[in-house]
Amino acid sequence: MTDRLDHLLAPGRIGTMALRNRIVHAPMSLGLGAGDGTCGERFIAYYAARAKGGAGLINIGTVSVGYPEGSVDAKQIAASDDKYLPNLTALADAVHAHGAKIVLQLNHNGTQAGGDRAAGRPLATPSLPEPKRGDLADYFLPEELTALAAGNPVSGRIRYKVLDAAGIKRVVDMFADAAVRSKRAGIDAVEIHGGHGYLLASFLSPVTNRRTDDYGGSTENRSRFLVEVLRAVRAAVGPDFPVWCKIDATEFELDGGILLEDAKITAQMAQDAGADAISVSAYSDVSKAITHSGSHTPQQPELLVPNARAIKAVITIPVITAGRIETADADRHIAEGTFDFVAFGRKLLADPDLPRKLAEGKSQEVRPCIYCYSCISQAYFRRPVICTVNPGMGFEYARSKAPASRKRVAVIGGGPVGMEAALRLKARGHEPILVEGGDRLGGAFTGAAVTYEPNGRYLDWLRCQIADAAVDVRLGTVGTLDVLSALDPDSVIVATGAGHPVLTIPGIDKPHVRQAETFLNEADASRGGESVAIIGGGMIGLQLAEWLQAQGKIVTVIDVDAKLGTGLPIVRRARLLYELRQKGVTLIGGARDIAIEDSNIIWRNADEQIRRTATDSVIIADGGTPDEALAGQLTEAGFAVSTAGDCAGDFYLEQSIPAVADLVDRI
């Protein structure tokens, strides 16, 4: 990233509202609400931290205009009644205290109103929905399907209510009333949510809107509901209160869905109805697993930028967009007039201080998002959002007290978990000593940084933070009893990783068989030959397969589990498995009696058939087992020992990083 981001950091304006920069905290459903329509301390503290971090505008995602009616769940924030005014005022005050402005994204969830399903209320819709038969369910693990059902309860048979003119007018009034309430609470603006398949979006889409009255048919008719909401809101709040809307510029992978030309017309109509800006997003056929990382929260960088450019060309009001846009690219696009404001979501989960660090010319200090989708994958199970690389996300309200005394803490193992422990110990005033047996920090994660580029940026950031914090690092030092005795620590954190499981696979000792970590550390660019078989279809094996396929290898992944992708969040898992199949990687689950021959790997499938595939090399990526040997030795020797990461059984970063943060807080 460059430190010259003059356009991204320049002041901007939406209607009458002046903003200190062009960075918007993207509206997201965080699941941090109190459960009764109010924000609560946790919710307010989260957004206050992002305001303090320098964002120009804080957008509070999907605020219900009819709560509990039309809400996604009990934790959604409400603006549907005056009883929520004190709480909304407290939220506005917390954001304003740090110089940011705040907008509420007003929404009715329509057919996605999980709160209505749970309570047995009918779901509001433009037309009776037609069933979809996609592949999304195929990518969930069995335990996730159980959690999915538990998090999304249904009371009786799902019922629908096709809105008539009176029903539409009632919802229009809900939006207008919520906007007035927002203004009274001290909120600076409102955004009308017309995207992502919610109620207004379902009227905009020709797939879900098959009406033949004034609200169906042509793009103009399908936009009528949104326009009526905008006009009612504008009339209710007056000419000087900023109001705008979010729309989908396209619906990916959805035959007959919204097209860019439709969105252009809708944007122009919204502008004529009094909108002060247009937020350009996208939606998709959500029954297809690949689309969950291929629309509004994309894996592909800048997926939405071309549509934002096209819509900006036909209106005169500002355009906001989002979707994995890097800061330097956002600066360039703003300079070129592609859009006016950029909404960062995942980036600000990872580092709330990103805007401030950019303004101070410290872009190298920004904690990078690794685009793992741990965050939004929680929404499927109605769990609070998490961030793999930022364990403090969502816990800003519960910062631990300063330690009673300064302690010397030996951290054994220089992988991400060990580095995170050392950084947190240092920040809390302790004296960490980071002991690493290798010649560089990173541990086994160095291989993960090779196979998945965002991991590499995270590893580089950790190494830089360790150096900047002047942590005492002892490279080439094995954490033996003698070494620990010489260091004389008050406590020890063992984060030495995992041992390799003992696999009883015939042929596993052949010379062309290697562990994944060993394979990735080899210097030979032609490693593995032309064809590679990977035993292990979890996160390590699949990311390795992705990388090998990109090198031009013929890749087979084989696992005893019927479902592949353990360790990957559902959204990332679905995309990776889909793309691997599309690129010709052979994926085999439910294999039994695996054996390795000199030039083949063989197995028995579910039909009891013996199968064989030729391979030049075999890589074992079958995870690990906690290695507690060192921790046991040190405990017996009288040291105060804790374990973290793989050796504590937390094999994935989304588990191990929060766990070690909690551990450090207790020291």
Residue 560, token pair as written in the block: 């005893």
d(CA 534, CA 173): 58
> Residue for token digits 């060192």?
630
Q: Which two tokens stand for residue 436?
A: 């690493």
Instruction: Provide the β-strand partners of residue 14.
Output: 17
Helices (H), 442-538: 445-451, 453-468, 481-487, 516-521
The whole-angstrom separation of Cα 141 and Cα 107 is 31
For residue 567, count other CB atoms closer than 10 A to its CB: 18
From the list 46, 47, 198, 371, the catalytic residue is 198
Angstrom distance (rounded) from CA 355 to CA 154? 42
Q: Is cis: bond before 68, omega within 30 of 0? A: yes
Return the H-helix or E-strand segment holding 517.
helix 516-521
Is the backbone of residue 130 left (phi > 0), alpha (psi -120 to 50) or beta?
beta
Asked if 94 contacts 76 with a C-beta cutoff of 8 angstroms, the reply is no
Please give the sequence-ordered ranges of beta strands (E in DSSP) within 163-242, or none if there are none.
189-194
Query: Which residues neighbour 170 within 8 Å (Cβ) at sequence distance 6 or greater?
Result: none
Rounded to whole angstroms, the Cα distance separating 395 from 46 reads 7
Strand 600-604 with 610-614, pairing:
antiparallel
Which pair of tokens denotes residue 236? 């209710």
Report the alpha-carbon distance of residue 160 to residue 116 in Å, rounded.
Answer: 10
Separation between Cα atoms, residue 211 and residue 120, nearest integer Å:
25
Element (H, E) at 534: strand 531-535
> From CA 543, how far away is CA 137, in angstroms rounded?
21
> Are 498 and 651 a contacting pair, CB within 8 Å?
yes
Annotated catalytic residue 198: yes
With 0-12 CB in 10 A as exposed, 13-18 as middle and 19+ as buried, what is 105?
buried
Ordered alpha helix ranges (H), 53-113: 85-96
Count CA within 13 A, CB hemisphere, residue 581: 9
Residue 46 is classified by DSSP as H
DSSP assignments along 70-138, one per residue: T-SSTTS-B-SSGGGHHHHHHHHHHHHTTT-EEEEEEE--GGG-HHHHHHTPPEEESSPPPP---SGGG
As annotated, the active-site residues are 198
